[in-house]
Amino acid sequence: MPVMEPIRDLGILEDFKGRLQSWNMRNWMFFVLGINTGLRVSDILPIKVKQVLGTHILLIEKKTSKRKRILINPKLRADIDFYLTCYEWLGEDDYLFASQTTGKPITTVQAYRILRQIGDIMGLEGVGTHTMRKTFGYHFYQRTKDIATLQLLLNHSTQRMTMLYIGLIQDTMDQSMSDFHL
């Protein structure tokens, strides 16, 4: 399996979102929530409707067992509200990203296949479920240059780990080597 990468180019990111939205609103919302919160796919999929109705998403991270509280900013709120109007039959105790056949959350394997399918159509390599979290981290850092807060948001133990995770170290090495020639 290839190394998952962030989607660095905002135009490509918008195209990716648009393709997901025209294909399936559930898949679009799952991706939008991922790239705007930095949550792991294992924490996104079991979210219930009631968890996104307030000002914050409250959950316990599956991997770390840590409590997580994520602000739903106005743009994400608008996306969530739009999604909920498209799926108005969902009740507060229903899963936000339910399988049409089981009513339970789609699996991480299914989520991977969804993202891979769009990535393949667009000719993108390194797209998978970690792409959402890495895309969040990459663009958060590009806008804020605040690696310390990003480290906290992603629950990483070191800033170096965060920089590696979002591809900054590789980008720096690539840039340094691009003009190097003996």
Strand 67-71 with 56-60, pairing: antiparallel
Kindly name the residue from 130, 134, 138, 141 that is annotated as catalytic. 130
Active site residue 130: yes
What is the mean pLDDT of each successive set of 10 residues along the chain, which is 182 residues long? 87 98 96 97 97 96 93 98 95 95 94 97 95 97 96 94 88 82 82
pLDDT tens digits for range 57-76: 999 999 999 999 999 999 99
Q: Which of 63, 67, 145, 181 is catalytic?
A: 63
Q: Which of 26, 40, 48, 134 is catalytic?
A: 40
156 is a catalytic site residue: yes
Mind listing the domains of the chain with CATH numbers? 10-175 (1.10.443.10)
Residue 3: what pLDDT? 85
What does the pLDDT read at residue 1? 55
| Annotation says 63 is catalytic | yes
Give yes or no: 40 in active site: yes
